[in-house]
Amino acid sequence: MPNMLAGRKILLIITGGIAAFKAIDIIRLIKKAGGEVQPILTASAQEFVTPLTAGTIAGNEALSELFDLTRESDIGHIELVRDADLIVVAPCTANFMAKMANGLADDLASTAILARDKHVIVAPAMNVKMWSAGPTQRNLNLIVEDGMQIVGPDEGEMACGEFGPGRMAEPETVFAAIEDYFYTFGENLPLKGKRILITSGATREPLDPVRYLTNASSGKQGTAIAAALRAAGAEIEFVTGAAEVPPPNGVNVTQITTAQDMYDAVHEALPCDVAIFCAAVSDWRPKEVGSKKIKKTGDGEAPSLEMVLNPDILKSVAALEPGERPALVIGFAAETDNVTEHARAKYERKGCDWLLANDVSAKTGTFGGDSNAIVFFDDQGHHEWPQMSKAEVGQKLANRIASFLKQSD
């Protein structure tokens, strides 16, 4: 990834929590990458790190007072946000999240947030019970609706001795989100003018008018990928089966039921620059579909099902002739055992350019959950992505696609 931070100015709001010390490492990482940091410390943050420490590492005086007589103008908070390229709140306490969600502006940090015209990355840090509390989760929804980006929190042992989600994401993770922002969402949207096809969700194969074969795909990963690519400026053709979550805003949706419907919709939506096959497609369908509900027989015997193969949509697109074939064809592999081995075989068999494998065995909670651990395959080999939220997988994939298309332009 090119150095996107050089000359960028980040307004870093540090609020009061034991994780405040991690903010110092974030400052170091930004500085090392050539970025500039303007720290703001809330009053309670100063119980954990001193303005002198933050200011010295940043090379910019750390601010905290709304009306600072040494800053010549009393509209300092407006200037601060206008000057910045990005705002980061790390760590963000439950209290500060509540302030941001409700528009409170009673100190420099909260006033800067309310006056913002820049993207905001928030790294929450709090006790596990505070994190899962109804008001915090409601506030979280509000700030996400307002367009803020959330990184973490991580799960693990907390400073207070309790265990669960609430620990601030590691400084490297927050820094990666900052880098991603400048790469993906900087002034020139990297995927503007690109057309990307995404399949998502689960297909349903009817046995009769009331029964069908399907799988446990929630559609969350496909939706998160579509949202990230849309935010990066791409035009999205979203072909989706059954899903637990609605499609993201701003994408063209084609709703389908069966694998054959999905095949038809995908080929109809071509040509495109990139095609991503995230849907969990049924490999087979019942040969006969009853026009009436199949009845129980009097002798108590279960009917036997004869199945036929469904078309392999991914394979059919990967096999298209140059000119018709998308520049990048990306498959997924949901595996329950020997993930890397099975996925490598699939990567070779399908003819796609990249393949993202994930472990969907019950212990991982990937199906229906909000996080994913990916093994990424391309023609250079494979490597593991650490466990991250499905939204982060979407963002990481969007960045990689943008960088691939940029190189091949």
What positions carry a catalytic annotation?
160
The only residue of 113, 281, 329, 360 in contact with ligand C5P, by rule CB under 6 A: 281
Question: Whole-angstrom Cα distance, residue 150 to residue 141?
Answer: 10
- The residue with tokens 């207070």 is 160
Rounded to the nearest whole angstrom, what is the least distance from the CB of residue 277 to ligand C5P in the complex?
3
Rounded to the nearest whole angstrom, what is the least distance from the CB of residue 332 to ligand C5P in the complex?
4
Is the backbone peptide bond immediately before 271 cis, with ω within 30 degrees of 0?
yes
- Give Cβ neighbours of residue 175 (< 8 Å, ≥ 6 apart): 26, 29, 30, 33
The only residue of 279, 318, 339, 391 in contact with ligand C5P, by rule CB under 6 A: 279
Q: Smaller CB distance to ligand C5P: residue 53 or 221?
A: 221
Piece of the chain touching ligand C5P by CB under 6 A; list 10-18, 39-47, 51-59, 306-314: 306-314
Strand partners for 152: none
Q: Which two structure tokens, joined as six digits, stand for 100?
A: 């941001």
Rounded to the nearest whole angstrom, what is the least distance from the CB of residue 195 to ligand C5P in the complex?
18
Name which of residues 195 to 224 contact ligand C5P (CB under 6 A): 199
Site string for ligand C5P, 117-146 (x = CB under 6 A): ------------------------------
Name which of residues 157 to 196 contact ligand C5P (CB under 6 A): none
Q: Smaller CB distance to ligand C5P: residue 242 or 281?
A: 281
Piece of the chain touching ligand C5P by CB under 6 A; list 39-47, 136-144, 169-177, 309-317: 309-317
- 59 phi and psi, to 5 degrees? 75, 20
Rounded to the nearest whole angstrom, what is the least distance from the CB of residue 376 to ligand C5P in the complex?
13
The only residue of 283, 288, 348, 370 in contact with ligand C5P, by rule CB under 6 A: 283
Site string for ligand C5P, 251-270 (x = CB under 6 A): --------x-----------
Give me the half-sphere count of Cα atoms (radius 13 Å) on the Cβ side of residue 395: 20
Rounded to the nearest whole angstrom, what is the least distance from the CB of residue 25 to ligand C5P in the complex?
38
**What are the C-alpha distances in Å from 64 to residues 87, 90, 121?**
15, 15, 19
Q: Smaller CB distance to ligand C5P: residue 87 or 266?
A: 266
Name which of residues 313 to 332 contact ligand C5P (CB under 6 A): 313-314, 331-332
Q: Which of 338, 43, 382, 326 is closest to 198 using CA atoms?
A: 326
Residue 98: Cβ within 10 Å count: 16
Rounded to the nearest whole angstrom, what is the least distance from the CB of residue 200 to ligand C5P in the complex?
9
Contacting residues toward ligand C5P, per CB under 6 A: 199, 259, 277, 279, 281, 283, 310, 312-314, 331-333, 346
